[in-house]
Amino acid sequence: MEQYKQEFIEFMIDCQVLKFGDFVTKSGRKTPFFVNTGFYRTGAQLRKLGEYYAKAIQDHFGLDFDVLFGPAYKGIPLTVATTMAISEQYGKDIRYCSNRKEVKDHGDKGILLGSPMGDKDRVVIIEDVTTAGTSIMETLPIIKAQGDVHPVGLVVSVDRMERGQKEKSALQEIRETYGLKTAAIVTMAEVVEHLYNRPYKGSVIMDDALKAAIDAYYEQYGVR
């Protein structure tokens, strides 16, 4: 596993973004792990997060695109932090764009904030976590309504590696349904590989009992 992925897993734990216990996802699934990117709360954390996203984007998509689009609301700081990191790390000036939940009818009018999108723009979409793949159904029509725009990919922080609407993973379904390349900074398999029975800062975060709970979760909700 690449060094930056190992660092990102530990970064999520330090920021209390990745937690283990008893949770319920938005789709109603009881899960022993939860990823809440709302816990990235400081400038230093967002700067570092943007660097991890920038690395994943560069690895999986390259930098031959024009706009990074982040759906409101969590996608807004992600686009800003990541475009800044791409500029600093790779010298590429990518425009950022997000949507508003409500159309603004005065001043900077419309549904978008940040850069407008137009014909021939190549767009990478950035999200926090995709569990069931429902958000992309709302995001793509907004992007495509801006003209002859070309969505080329979706990047998330963590691939939960569980079924989406049917029997395949959410990211697999997005690839097949929309023709989008998908990528994640890390997968849950990589999280388990890095943490299982391995001490971190003096304690073992993922012991045999937690590993068994995660295995049981994937037995129920994992990809068939």
184's enclosing H/E stretch is strand 181-187
Can you say whether residue 182 is alpha, beta or left, with left for phi > 0 and alpha for psi between -120 and 50 degrees?
beta
106 is catalytic: yes
User: How far is Cα 47 from Cα 60, in angstroms, rounded to an integer?
Assistant: 20
Catalytic residue among 26, 30, 104, 120: 104
Instruction: Name the residue type at position 204.
Output: V
Structure token digits, residue 172: 């697999």
Q: Which residues pair with 199 in a beta bridge?
A: 204
Catalytic residue among 19, 74, 101, 106: 106
* First-to-last C-alpha distance (Å) of the chain: 25
User: How far is Cα 25 from Cα 7, in angstroms, rounded to an integer?
Assistant: 25
User: How far is Cα 82 from Cα 126, in angstroms, rounded to an integer?
Assistant: 9
User: How far is Cα 136 from Cα 132, in angstroms, rounded to an integer?
Assistant: 10
CA 167 from chain center: how many Å? 21
Instruction: Name the residue type at position 221.
Output: Y
104 is catalytic: yes
Return the active site residues.
Answer: 104, 106
